[in-house]
Structure 1
Amino acid sequence: MSIAGLTLVLLAAVCHATWNVFVKRINGGAELIWMFSVISVLIYLPLAIWIIVVQRPVFGPWQIGFMLGTVALHLGYFLLLQTGYRKDDLSLVYPTARATGPLLSTTFAVLVLGEIVTFQMALGAGIIIFAVLMLTGGFKMGVRNLSASLMFGVGAGMFIASYTVWDAYAVSVLLVPPLLMDYASNLGRVVVLAPVAHRRRALMWQHWAHHRTGVIVIAMFSPLAYILVLYALTFTPVAYVAPAREVSVILTVLAGSILLREGDLYERLGWASIALVGMILLVLG
């Protein structure tokens, strides 16, 4: 994995961890997704216009089709994950999604994009995925609706894998600018979630009154995190990027222990160290 690709992914991980901490503090739902998506569309509009005017990207049927597809895939991921969380099995849904996502992404990259995975890369990716799984709680027995929770977790992981490979093809082969790819996703969520936002407008005003800074931070860093990943995918194989992205989960969990006082700091540092070993193997693979 190149230094440039690793740098972009690590910067994306910091951005991802930052906006996830604020999401957790606000504890919103679909109305929060709509709010920060609207603000993201406004913040990144000048850059989107600049790219269209200066770079003059091609918007043929394939490019437009893939941009519409990413709207559906990302929205499906958000909605399915939220449905899984409402089952009160967060400790199973979240680690299942985060573990299966990069595993399936790498598998799809090999089968669909023809990427080659060495034994060292596979070992490093496996260590990262296992460490993230344990870091987020592992598979706890006795959880209610075990099969349903696993279904939601694996389903969310399928969406992660699908939009990762889908977007990688769009930015690396069809040459859709990464910022425009993510911009389309945000704009699509604004349109689709508008009816939900209208019904929950009172709750949105509460979020804005009490968490204005947090909402703006999410709106800035959520797109930036994925835009950096998309730029990395323009010259770095999915088999490298997908597992490396899990560093963001490690940072988020550690931030929860330190900033939100969730506890288990030393145990989480231990699993984070094991994930770092996997990262080194992956980078040198």
Structure 2
Amino acid sequence: MNPTAFAIVAGAAVCHAIWNAMVKAGRDRAVTLAAISFSNFLVGAVLVFFAPLPAAQSWPLLLASALLHNGYYIGLNYAYRFGDLSQVYPLARGMAPALVAIAAYLTIGEVLPVEAIVGLALVSVGIALLCFSRSATPRDPRALAAAAATGTIIAAYSLADGIGARLSDAPLGYISWLFLLEFPTAATTLIRRRHAIRAAAGSALAGLVPGFLSVLAYGGVIYAATIAPLAVVSALRETSVVLAALFGIFLFGERPIGLRLVSAVVVLSGIIFIATA
């Protein structure tokens, strides 16, 4: 894998795990997610004045991705409302690599080297182990359904953005407009919950920090997708589930630990294969 792409996506995975843990810990997750979306909008509103305009052929994918991101925030909010971080997050994120690999092959004929396929498989298996670990609290079917729906949306917007950024001839411009188009999500949620914002002012302000982390995380992933295979970028990005599982154990007291540690070893093995592919 391209060393630059590897470094960017690895850093993005760390940022992504941190901001998801902050959302889970928030007093009002809907307000926190709205603040994150608003942070993305603010960054996009500044960058569009400096970045070149994306090419016309990328705009349908850009608009589709913006709509999919709206669904992502809704699904994530419901998943965290009813489930543990260390199980909801792996299920939502863990579906994406395999789905992206299949979709990228069918749509743009992207074929991976054997080492990358082995690495992707190990990452997916390691993530699946987290999904099937027994939690100290009973699983809520609503959490699993929301997480599965969110995972499908993640795969869809990952494919749209990977192809869209390549067609745009201006990855930074594409990223800027994608963040700018998150304004409806932020505005709608903040207006709908305006009476709760004062009571959850801490959540709103705390949402700005994970918001800027999400900008770094996803902006880096989109750029990496222009210089590395989409499935490989997706698989490496989802290694953030290992960090999320550890956050769940040590920050939120989620149990048990054993299978989560085994999962971490399997995922890290997959990362080594991907890095050398």
Q: For this structure pair, what is the TM-score category when the shorter chain's length is used for normalisation?
A: 0.7 to 0.9
How many pairs does the alignment contain?
276
User: What corresponds to 1:121 in structure 2?
Assistant: 116
Q: Using the alignment, how far apart are the partners of 1:208 and 1:17 within structure 2? A: 23
Q: How do 1:113-192 residues align onto structure 2 when only pairs under 5 Å count?
A: 113-138=108-133, 143=139, 145=141, 151-178=145-172, 180-192=173-185
Per the alignment, do residues 138 and 95 of structure 1 end up closer, same or farther by CA in structure 2, a change over 3 Å counting?
farther
Q: Using the alignment, how far apart are the partners of 1:27 and 1:250 within structure 2? A: 24
2:65 is the counterpart of 1:40? no
Q: Could you tell me how far 1:94 is from its partner in structure 2?
A: 4.3
Q: Could you tell me how far 1:233 is from its partner in structure 2?
A: 0.6
Q: Please list the CA deviations of residues 46-66 of structure 1 after superposition, one character each: whole Å capped at 9, or x if unmatched.
A: 333221xxxx33442x33322
Q: How do 1:262-273 residues align onto structure 2 when only pairs under 5 Å count?
A: 262=254, 264-265=256-257, 267-273=259-265
Q: Could you tell me how far 1:172 is from its partner in structure 2?
A: 1.4
User: What corresponds to 1:204 in structure 2?
Assistant: 197
Q: Using the alignment, how far apart are the partners of 1:191 and 1:165 within structure 2? A: 22
User: What corresponds to 1:257 in structure 2?
Assistant: 249
Deviates more, 1:245-254 or 1:33-42: 33-42
Are the counterparts in 1 of residues 61 and 164 from structure 2 also a CA contact under 8 Å?
Answer: yes
Aligned residue type for 1:191: P
Q: 1:77 aligns with which of 69, 72, 76?
A: 72
With structure 1 as the length reference, what TM-score do the two structures score? 0.83
Per the alignment, do residues 260 and 107 of structure 1 end up closer, same or farther by CA in structure 2, a change over 3 Å counting?
same
User: What corresponds to 1:219 in structure 2?
Assistant: 211
Per the alignment, do residues 106 and 226 of structure 1 end up closer, same or farther by CA in structure 2, a change over 3 Å counting?
same
Per the alignment, do residues 265 and 276 of structure 1 end up closer, same or farther by CA in structure 2, a change over 3 Å counting?
same
Aligned residue type for 1:282: I
Are the counterparts in 1 of residues 23 and 33 from structure 2 also a CA contact under 8 Å?
Answer: no
Aligned residue type for 2:192: R
Aligned residue type for 1:203: A
Aligned residue type for 1:113: I
Are the counterparts in 2 of residues 168 and 234 from structure 1 also a CA contact under 8 Å?
Answer: yes
Q: Using the alignment, how far apart are the partners of 2:91 and 2:248 within structure 1? A: 19
Q: Could you tell me how far 1:98 is from its partner in structure 2?
A: 2.3
Q: Could you tell me how far 1:82 is from its partner in structure 2?
A: 3.3
User: What corresponds to 1:112 in structure 2?
Assistant: 107
With structure 2 as the length reference, what TM-score do the two structures score? 0.85
Report sequence identity in percent. Answer: 29
Q: 1:237 aligns with which of 209, 229, 239?
A: 229
Structure 1 unmatched ranges of 5 or more: none
Deviates more, 1:39-48 or 1:105-114: 39-48
Aligned residue type for 1:233: A
Q: Could you tell me how far 1:197 is from its partner in structure 2?
A: 1.9
Are the counterparts in 2 of residues 101 and 156 from structure 1 also a CA contact under 8 Å?
Answer: no
Q: Could you tell me how far 1:186 is from its partner in structure 2?
A: 3.6
Per the alignment, do residues 27 and 122 of structure 1 end up closer, same or farther by CA in structure 2, a change over 3 Å counting?
farther
